Every structure is written in structure tokens, then in C-alpha cells.
Amino acid sequence: MNITTSLFDAALKCSTKCFLRSLGETGKGNAYANWVGNQTASYRGTGIKGLTAGAARDELIVRAPGSENLNTAEWRLAVDVMAHAQNLESSLHAVERVPVNARGQPTQIIPIRFIFTNKLTRDDKLLLAFDGLVLSEMVGREINFGKIIHGDNYAALKVRTSVLTSEVRKLTRKIAILLSSNLPPDLVLNRHCAECEFQAHCRRKAIEKDDLSLLSGMTEKERKKFNSKGIFTVTQLSHTFRPRRRPKRLAAEREKYHHSLKALAIREHKIHIVGSPELKIEGTPVFLDVEGLPDPDFYYLIGFRIKTAEGIIHHSLWADKADEEETIWTDFLSILSEIENPLLIHYGSFETTFMKRMGERYGEPLESSVMAKAIESAVNLLSVIFAQIYFPTFSNGLKEIAGHLGFAWSDPIASGVQPSLGAMNGKLPRRPL
């Protein structure tokens, strides 16, 4: 089987994803994965139109050229190019031929790839390097550079692909071994699962196996260490927990996190508490939740609830465009300044990062102000839970813990990704948090 661009892209994220794609499997039920696919195709189409429209009138542009020799071809730009070399097959978005003025020097051949995100990752550059490798082997000469056109402004980045060639070759060898086997690779859940079309399939399989990777807080290194001891399932791990009396000199320090105790909580379906967790709420609780887009680094919603003697007050501050971000931050501080002794309460580090970045972008509140004191004394509930309260859930995610406590979302597959998709499409869902 040929190693295609699709399989190489999948292998960069997960071996299981690559294997399933090689079998022709199609995943379902992941809104984000569907959105990424549509966005990629749309961006590529628009980018190609812009590239061809910007070409000089006397420059020859072709679409899907055949098996002609690229070294002697007469066109300047080709789009939708299929490149083949041995067991490699690449779907190149575009290829540019740039004549060299020096006599005797061959025309430069430059692969071009379109990436819709503003921030590029190493995987994006490796994909371009894969294009370059296949193209290089097909034309029989080295290709040192490629170009990525990306982001809202269709910025062009020149990438030295030759420095990535050895890494690309190493990965293609691994893929070849994987595809030659009739057995699927060891299934391991990872961070990419949230945006993968096979998320539901793999999670179901992991639950059937009771696989250790279900414990989202466990690193790959920790999991391999447990595997080396013959521990492969959550149930097996749960039987290894042994409560120990702590030395008096460590009494004031927090106990380290125990994956085995988390596993025990899951097996017994009980909440386990270590030490004496304390949550001091002195003042008026302000429950904060922020939504943002990581790629353009833009926060579009500040949602918060204020508990008063008269009842609960809701606020949802929306920014339709990046230049409205400062406005909702200013409005948030203004409302906060009118609350008597406000205490910000949030879940996770996202809001912590948000408040830090807003201060850097638009200036910190006055040091002695109510707003500054509230930000400085904000309470992260997750820091109270971590290593002290073990819920019978695979992670400390808010949705999982809330589900265990009897709460349910109106949408059973709701996630933080969904409102972000609406924002990315310019359709912000106006609903209170």
C-alpha cells in the first residue's frame, strides 16, 4: 500500500488513526474534525484562486498536470499535483517552477501547501517536507525549500524542508511497517482524540480494554512504567494503592497525586479524599467562565454569575471581532468594581491565563483597586481538587465530574469546542453560560 499524504498526516497524530484510515474507515460524530476538514478544503480552494489570480498574464498555469517531466515542463504554476515515488504518494496543493538566472542551473521546483491556521505547528512543516521528499524522488533531484501559505492574511512562509527530510523518512519507514501488519497498533488515547474523527470509536475500545490511557492525567512515560510492571488496565492499577501514614515533617505539605487512588475510586465508584481540603470563600462569589479561540488568540466571551442576597445575576459579554476584546474586558472590570468584596472562582488554568494576557494587552487595574485584588485572589477550584479529592471519573474535567454529581448538559455531546466553532464561522451562539 502506498503511503499517502492522508496517512502521513494521520501518523503524525496517532498510529491508530493512520491504521484506521489505511483500512478505509471513516469516523463519525466529531463536529470539530468535520469542521477542520471543511475549513481546510475551503481555504485551499480560496488560496489557489488567489495564487492563480496573482500570476502574471504571460505565465502558464496548469491544473492537475499529467506524468510530464517537471524538469522540462513549460508551465510556471501547477495546482492539484499528484506526485508518486516508489511507495509514496503526495497530493500537492500547488507546485511553482522558478527559473534561475545563472547559466546551467536547473529551474527551482517549490512545493506549496495551504494551512488555514494563523499559528503553524511542526506537523504542518513535516507535511510540506513530505511533499518535498516525494516530489524530489519523482524528479530525481534535491528540493531544499517549500512554501506554506497560511492564516487569515494568506501569509507566505518559506520553509527549509531539507532539514526535515531525515525525520520524514524515519516516519515513513514506521508507517510502512504498520501498514504491512494485519494487527492494529496498541490503542492509546491522547490529546489529539478531542479533534479526531475516530474519537468515539477509540474511546469505546479503550473502555472495553479498561486501558490505562483512559486516565487522562497519566503521561506516556508513567504509563510505560506501569506497563513494565505488568499493569495494563485501570482495574489492575487500582489494586496497587496502599495508604501510608505520612511522616510528621511532611504533614503541612500536600500529598502527591496517586494514579492508583484515582483507579481505586473508579473501581469502587466512590469519592476518595486525601488530607483536609479547604475552600475559603470570603466575599461575594463571582463564578467565571471564559471562551476563546486559541489559533488567533482571541477571547470572544466572558461569562460570569454573581451570587447575591437577592439571587443569581448572569452576565455574558460578547466580542464579535478581535478589536472588541478590550471592550468586553473593560466592561467586565467595570461590573467587578461595583461588587462588594468580589471573589473570582473558576475551574482550570484557562481563566488564569486569560486574566494575565488581558493585563498584558490592555494594562493592569490599579494595584489597590477592587478589580486588582479580585484577580490576585482568584480561586482555581481545580487546584483544590487535584491530589486531594479523587472522583470516580477518568479525568478531572468539569463535565465528567458534574455528570457524576448528577448534572447533565442540554446537549449530550456538548464541549468547549462547539461554541468555538460557531465563533470561527462568525456565528456566535448568544446564550447565557
Average pLDDT of the chain to the nearest whole number: 89
pLDDT at 430: 46
Contact (Cβ atoms closer than 8 angstroms) between residue 234 and residue 353: no
Place 247 in a pLDDT band, splitting at 50, 70 and 90. Answer: confident
Rounded CA separation 268/291 (Å): 35
pLDDT in tens, 342-383: 999 999 999 999 999 999 999 999 988 999 999 999 999 999
pLDDT in tens, 259-279: 999 999 999 999 999 988 889
- How much is the pLDDT for 198? 95
At 103, is the pLDDT very low, low, confident or very high (cuts 50, 70, 90)? low
Q: What CATH architecture does domain 3-180 belong to?
A: Alpha-Beta Complex (3.90)
- pLDDT 10s digits, 25-56: 988 878 888 888 899 999 999 999 998 887 76
Q: Which residues share a beta bridge with 317?
A: 302
DSSP assignment letter at 341: S
Q: Quick one: 284-424 is in which CATH superfamily?
A: Ribonuclease H-like superfamily/Ribonuclease H (3.30.420.10)
Distance CA 61, CA 78 (A): 6
**What tens digit of pLDDT does each residue of 409-428 get?**
776 555 555 555 555 555 44
Q: pTM of the full predicted structure? A: 0.86
Query: Can you give the pLDDT at residue 428?
Result: 46
Which pLDDT score is estimated for 431?
Answer: 43
Rounded Cα distance between 300 and 6, Å, is: 33
- Structural domain boundaries of the chain? 3-180, 210-270, 284-424
pLDDT attached to residue 65? 78
CA distance 33 to 56: 37
At residue 257, the pLDDT reads 94
Phi-psi region of 162 (alpha: psi -120 to 50; beta: other; left: phi over 0): alpha
Q: How far apart are CA 261 and CA 240, in angstroms?
A: 9
